[in-house]
Amino acid sequence: MSLLHTPPNRPTGKSVQLMTTCLCDAFYSDVAKATVEILDFLGCEIELPDGQTCCGQPAFNAGDWANSRKVIRHAEKTFSGDKPIIVPSGSCAAMIFHGALLAFEKEEDLPAIKAFGERTWELVDYIVYGLGITQWPGKFDAKMTFHRSCHLRGSRSPEAVNALLTSIEGVDLQPIDEVEQCCGFGGTFSVSFPNISEKMGELKIENLTACKPDVVAAGDMGCMMHFGGMMDKQGMPYKRMHIAQVLRDSLKNAGKL
Amino acid sequence: MSSDREKIFSAIRAALDPLPKRTAKPEWKRELIVCNPSGEFSSLKEQLADKLAFASSRYCDSFDQLAETLKAENSTFGYCDPELAPLFEKLDGITFETEYDVAKVNEYTFGITKASAAIAESGTIVLKDGDTSSRMGALTPWIHIAAIKESDIVATIPEAIDRFGDDPSIVFCTGPSKTADVEGILIEGVHGPGIQIGFILS
Amino acid sequence: MKSKQKIDLVARDLTNEVHEANFIGAKMKSERRYAALGRDYADPDKLRETAGLVKQHTLEHLDKYLEQAEASFERNGAKVHFAFDEDTAKKTVLNIMNEHGCKSMVKSKSMLTEELELLHYLEDQGKEVIETDLGEFILQIDNDHPSHIVTPIVHKNRRGIAKSFEREGLGDYNDDPETITRRARAHLRQKYLDADIGLTGANFVSAESGRIVLVTNEGNARFCMAANKVHIAIVGIEKIVPTDQDLGLFLNLIGRSGTGQQLTVYNQFIGGPKLKDQPNGPEHMHVIFVDNRRTEVLASDCREILRCIRCGACLNVCPIYRQSGGHAYRSVYPGPVGAVLSPLLAGNRFPELADLPKASSLCGACNEVCPVNIPIPDLLLRLRDKAKREGAKEAMKGTPNLAMWATMCSQPTMWKAALTMGHTMNHIPTQLIPHPSAMSWQGTRKLPKFEGGEFRKWFKNRK
């Protein structure tokens, strides 16, 4: 029930730039691969700017805005142009089109940063509301729960995820309790408030696994690294997938990839 | 040395001067805040009855029924607005005083005073100083009976606010007094009435 | 687990009893809020958005509305006072009491009076002050502080309250909530009758008509203005709204947002002393408008926090508040609103409370439930920036230094080198990495496998 804050009138079109995210660059290469594979499938021409690193969120959330600006400026230059920028992460997208506006409020290059944000799309938001895809022609027999990460608030990504997942043949998407409760990642919060972060993670895991799903899906690897890391430490059996991987695998299952 | 008033006003102005633009007051229509109806009703009185119950108040429009209710609660002695006395004298087995005596604060088991209005959308009884013969009489007894004229029932809160006039003490009463301070458990009847009755005079 | 942040340690060390009481209470109120708004309005967000704009507009024209309110109250026969700071506010209350020869005060709940520590000040001056709200009364006899701005004793259970009542001579030990409430009713009744002055806060002030608005359930505020002759309303300058009709918007939001009630039991609109023919009630009304650094907040880039109508919805939904409880915030206002307001109202003691804005994952649930749409996460971020720039040490404890990270992120060759070198992580016992963040992370989580460079290589080689 957040008021919408994604930028209006973002560029659409199939010639795109891909922002991998620092987490996928370092830890989750298959998520990035799956993102490319599904954008490929949709007929997109994908440019992967080589100099990309991070969106600047870790320093921004920690209050170190000076260092955050350093990183964002580099990102803006790396992604120069006017193509839509697609990123498989709600939090990175929100950092660029919302957080950056705060960090650059008093800076002279605010207009350039604003323009950067006004081209940025979270992946599923782009697929459904940028490209207009509402039915996903895949097959995936699984009971699933989806972790709606906090930075999808104020966007239409949750609706987009719902539309796509429920349209996949075989997917049994189950609702979870306490959707509005954060998983406890919050960037550096997870290490500076470890006790509270752990309690929040436990509650989120309980809610995500209450129906004993086959797959727990999410759109943000930050969240998943945190509660997934807890699940791994406890030896829990649930398969975890990024939404891009679900979409890609469903196409493979249907013989379309 | 400037007064506190001057300090505050100049601090406000200093704070607001640098703002490049100011937020305009939004226009909004009354319908925005009117509650979804809880059912279909053929009159405001009917809707009020429904919402009074929802708020844990009681609806009554029969003197006989009121007398029975008071007897069932062992509440046969109370206070009544002298202007309402001729009407409520007919309550069988019930006695009251028309001048509130503070010394009897714990003896009055009920208080009958005039309501100035009632709000159908929320089950609210409106009391104003001008129509309330005694604030203590309306507040202190366990049972408060608010005498409401049917013509004083309004549909919505904005309409009730339209009728504020310049009375210095207006109270919206939506239910009996209550608290959930102890472990979140709801208890009715704290400092005010434990039973709130809306009595409709036709 | 070890931690450098105070609020995290409080959460860790809470007794199960207090934790459960706090958690369940908060969750229940959040659920009721959601149910009430969904049942009663087709588009609750529209109300929140509108209410937020009305408040923002008022704050941005506060001089005009405060002046209008002052004139309206005076027209109604109330006396208006201004208090720039805490000391003046307290002295003004004392002076009014002395002017009217008052020795014993009954008061209704007011967070502003907690801010001012008014109760202890007046008692030190030889006055008797009795809190009449049940929760506040219990806190008074326990010499305790509220842990929630709406339900102040959510951290207490019936057994503790029963013991306190026994200690105070209110009867033998009895922990039945109804009995506790009836005993308080009987005990406080006499206090209302014996007192010679009533003091309230105000949830809202209508500038147009010169009325304070009180939002209560117990009937205690009514009683404070029924049995004695003098009424003081002490209120923060930010509580003003333009018109009586605007009050309808806020009243419909505050009950539902805080507890899921359509309206609280009593909404009082008090615009002056009693009418001449009314036998009961105050013959004198004083309104004290208090600043106490609110104009500093108005001047800051966090001024939206002044929209707050003190409903408590943000506390109830906040996952951090649910784990730590209100006392963890070490200040009058806890939870998300407190994490912004308390450090700002602390003035130059900001560093002492600068860790409060860090106690958040920035999830945004608070903004989502706020009836006046305060962008709390943005304000928390601004205060984190302020804390960093001003070197507030408490705030930064436990947060890794990100200067090196930022350098690496702005030099692609360094970044790519790290992507290569990071593979060593997969071959060492990572639990032994002596970096505090790595140790904190691995206290409860496994680190993922390092895959740096693999995606880029794959992308280059595809096709």
pLDDT per residue as tens digits for the range A82-127:
999 999 999 999 999 999 999 999 999 999 999 999 999 999 999 9
Q: How confident is the model at residue C434 (pLDDT cuts 50, 70, 90)?
A: confident
Mean per-residue pLDDT for C396-402? 92
pLDDT of residue B2: 83
DSSP H helical ranges for C171-307: 177-194, 220-224, 244-259, 294-299
pLDDT, tens only, A35-49 = 999 999 999 999 999
Domains in chain A, CATH or no CATH each:
15-129 (no CATH), 133-253 (3.40.50)
Residue C61 distance to chain B (closest CA, Å): 8
Q: What is the mean pLDDT of residues A59-83?
A: 97
Domains of chain C, earliest start first = 6-28+305-396 (1.10.1060), 43-292 (3.40.50.10420), 409-450 (no CATH)
Q: Which residue bears the tokens 């026994």?
A: C166
Give the burial class of C170: count Cβ atoms within 10 A of its Cβ; 0-12 exposed, 13-18 middle, 19 or more buried.
middle
Residue C67, pLDDT above cutoff 80: yes
What is the value of pTM for the model shown? Answer: 0.97
Q: Is the pLDDT of residue C206 over 70?
A: yes
| Predicted confidence (pLDDT) per residue in C325-338, tens digit | 999 999 999 999 99
Kindly identify which residue of chain C lies nearest to residue A65, measuring between CA atoms: C385
> What secondary structure does DSSP assign to chain B, as a single string?
---HHHHHHHHHHHHHTT-SS-PPPPP--GGGGSPPPSS--SSHHHHHHHHHHHTT-EEE--HHHHHHHHHHTT--EEEE-TTTHHHHTTSTT-EEESS--GGGTTT--EEEEE-SEEETTTTEEEEETTT-S-HHHHHSSSEEEEEEEGGGEESSHHHHHHT-TT-SEEEEE-SS-EE-TTTT--EE-SSS-SEEEEEEE-
Say whether residue B1 is in contact with chain C using an 8 A CB cutoff: no
CA-CA distance, C177 to C161, in Å (whole number)?
Answer: 9
Distances in whole angstroms, Cα of residue C309 to Cα of each of C238, C241, C305, C360: 9, 11, 10, 21
pLDDT of A142: 98
Q: How confident is the model at residue B186 (pLDDT cuts 50, 70, 90)?
A: very high
pLDDT for residue A2 is more than 80: no
C451 interfacial to chain A (CB closer than 8 Å): yes
State chain C's mean pLDDT as an integer.
Answer: 96
Q: Of C249, A6, A15, C191, whose CA–CA distance to B33 is shortest? A: C249
C and B interact (at least 3 Cβ pairs within 8 A):
yes
Say whether pLDDT at C166 is over 50.
Answer: yes
**Which fold, B44-201?**
Rossmann fold (3.40.50)
Smallest CA–CA distance from A25 into chain C, residue: C452
Q: Dihedral of CA C119/C124/C129/C130: which sign?
A: positive
pLDDT tier at C229 (50, 70, 90 boundaries)? very high
Q: How many CB pairs under 8 A join A and C?
A: 223
Residue with tokens 């069988």: B92
Cβ of residue A2 closer than 8 Å to a chain C Cβ: yes
Is C428:C33 a contact under the CB 8 Å cutoff?
no
- Exposure of A125 in the CB half-sphere (CA atoms within 13 A): 31
| Closest Cα in chain B, distance from residue C56 (Å) | 7
Cα A111 from Cα B150, distance rounded (Å): 62
Domain ranges of chain B: 44-201
The H or E element that residue C286 is part of is strand C284-290
How far apart CA C341 and CA C307 sit, in angstroms, is: 11
d(CA B3, nearest CA chain C) in Å: 9
Name the closest residue on chain A to residue C34, using Cα atoms: A1
DSSP one-letter string for A123-140: HHHIIIIIS-------EE
Nearest C-alpha neighbor of C206 from the set C198, C214, C195: C214
In whole angstroms, how far apart are CA A19 and each of A22, A42, A48, A153? 9, 17, 7, 20
pLDDT digits (tens, 9 = 90+) for B101-119: 999 999 999 999 999 999 9
pLDDT value of position C130: 97
User: Rounded mean pLDDT of C30-53?
Assistant: 97
* Whether pLDDT at A80 is above 70: yes
Residues C329, C333, C338: CA angle, nearest 5 degrees: 75
Q: What is the pLDDT of residue A3?
A: 75
C-alpha to C-alpha distance for B166 and C213, rounded to whole angstroms: 14
Contact A189 C360 (CB under 8 A): yes
* C225/B169 CB distance under 8 A: yes
Find which of C379, C385, C413 to mutate to test the A interface (most A CBs within 10 Å of its CB): C385
Short-list C436, C327, C450, CA closest to C1: C436
As a whole number, the mean pLDDT across chain B is 97
Residue matched to tokens 């323009």: A115
Contacting A residues, span 91-150, partner chain C, CB-CB under 8 Å: 99, 102, 150
- Per the CB < 8 Å rule, is C271 touching B167? yes
Q: What is the mean pLDDT of residues C143-163?
A: 94
With beta carbons less than 8 A apart as the criterion, state whether B74 and B94 touch.
no
Q: Does C20 touch chain A (CB under 8 A)?
A: no
In contact, C307 and C8? CB cutoff 8 Å:
no
Contact A70 C409 (CB under 8 A): yes
Cβ pairs bridging B and C (under 8 Å): 257
> What is the average per-residue pLDDT within B37-59?
97
**Chain A stretch 157-216, residues whose beta carbon is closer than 8 A to a beta carbon of chain C:** 180-182, 184-201, 203
- The rounded distance, in Å, linking the Cα atoms of B135 and C281 is 7
| Predicted confidence (pLDDT) at residue A1 exceeds the cutoff of 50 | no
Q: Which of C363, C389, C397 to mutate to test the interface with A (most CBs of A within 10 A)?
A: C363
Contact B177 C218 (CB under 8 A): yes
Q: Provide the residue type at B151 as one letter.
A: S
- Name the percent of chain B lying above pLDDT 70: 100
Task: Tell me the pLDDT band of B1, cut-offs 50, 70 and 90.
Answer: low
pLDDT at residue C187 tops 90: yes
Residue A222's H or E segment, with its range, is helix A221-233
- Beta carbons within 8 Å of A29's beta carbon, 6+ residues apart: C451, C454, C455, C458
- Distance from C317 to chain A by nearest Cα, in Å? 8
At C372, is the secondary structure helix, strand, or coil? coil
Q: Which residues in chain C have Cβ-Cβ distances shorter than 8 Å to B4?
A: 81-84, 88, 291
Collect all residues of chain C within an 8 Å Cβ-Cβ radius of residue A1.
Answer: 44-45, 368-369
- Output A3 or A158, whichever has higher pLDDT: A158
Quick count: other Cβ atoms within 10 Å of Cβ B102?
12
Contact B129 C274 (CB under 8 A): yes
